Amino acid sequence: MSLNIVCAENLRPVRWKNGAGWTHELLTWPEPTGWALRISVADIEADGPFSSFPGVDRYFAVLSGEGVVLGIDGAQVSLNAQSPLFAFKGEAATECRLVRGASSDFNLMVRRDRAHLHCHPVGEAAPLLSDPHWVGLFTVGGGRVREPGGEWLKVPEMSLVWSDAGTPWRTWLTGRQPRGWWMQVRMKEARP
C-alpha cells in the first residue's frame, strides 16, 4: 500500500531544549536529516522563544487550548483554534506567549530553496500542483481514506496521511466542519 498514516498520539514526544514543550514529529521528508518538509504537532506548556530555522518557511495553527500570542520581529499576532494557518519566516525572532494555559499546535516547515509548498484548508477547493512529488493531509478530527479500488482505512484524530506522487486517494473526514490542511510539495530543480 502506498498511503502512509501517522498519528501524533502513537509517537514518542521529544522534549524541547528550552523545556517549554514537547514535539511529536509526524514526518521529515524526503529524509530525516536532509529534510525539505517537516510536519509535527507540538504541546506548548510555557511562554518562550521559538527555535530559529533560517531558510525555512513556517506554518503554524492552534489545535487546542485558548490560543497563543506570537511576537514576530516585534509585531504581535493572536491565534486561536479558529484562526487560519499562519505563515512566517523561520529566521524571524519569534516569541510565544500562551493565553490561559497550554496549547497544542500544528507545525509545518518547508526549506524554501528545496521545495515549493501548496497548502489549503480541507473545506476549500484549490487548484492542484502539476506533478507534485508529495501529497499529504493533516486532519484534526480524523476520518477515513482509501485508494481507488481499495478499502476505506480509519484515520485517527491528529493524524497525517501522505503519499509520494502518483497515488490518487479519496477522503471522508469526521465532523460537521472538519478541520485540517491539504498539502502538496514539488521539489525544486537541483542547482548545478
The pLDDT, as a whole number, for residue 17 is 77
The pLDDT, as a whole number, for residue 190 is 57
pLDDT tier for residue 148 given thresholds of 50, 70 and 90: confident
Report the b/e string of 152-176 with b at 16+ CB within 10 A: eeebbebbbbbbeeeeebebebeee
pTM of the model: 0.92
Q: How many CB atoms lie within 10 A of CB 110?
A: 24
How far apart CA 28 and CA 78 sit, in angstroms, is 28
pLDDT tier for residue 150 given thresholds of 50, 70 and 90: confident
pLDDT at 44 over 50: yes
Domains of the chain in start order, with CATH, are 11-111 (2.60.120.10), 115-187 (2.60.120.10)
| β-sheet bridge partners, residue 42 | 23, 105
Q: Looking at the chain, how many residues does it have?
A: 192
How far apart CA 86 and CA 79 sit, in angstroms, is 8
At residue 168's C-alpha, the angle toward residues 110 and 189, to 5°, is 40
Q: What is the mean pLDDT of the chain?
A: 90
Q: Which of 22-36, 55-69, 165-179 has the lowest mean pLDDT?
A: 165-179
- Cα-to-chain-centroid distance, residue 36: 13
Average pLDDT of 99-119?
A: 95
DSSP codes, 129-185: PSS-SEEEEEESS-EEEE-TTS--EEE-SSEEEEEETT---EEEESSSS--EEEEEE
pLDDT digit string, tens, across residues 173-192: 876 778 999 999 999 875 44
The pLDDT, as a whole number, for residue 192 is 42
Report the amino acid identity of residue 186.
Answer: R
Q: Which sign does the torsion angle of CA 183, 135, 29, 118 carry?
A: negative
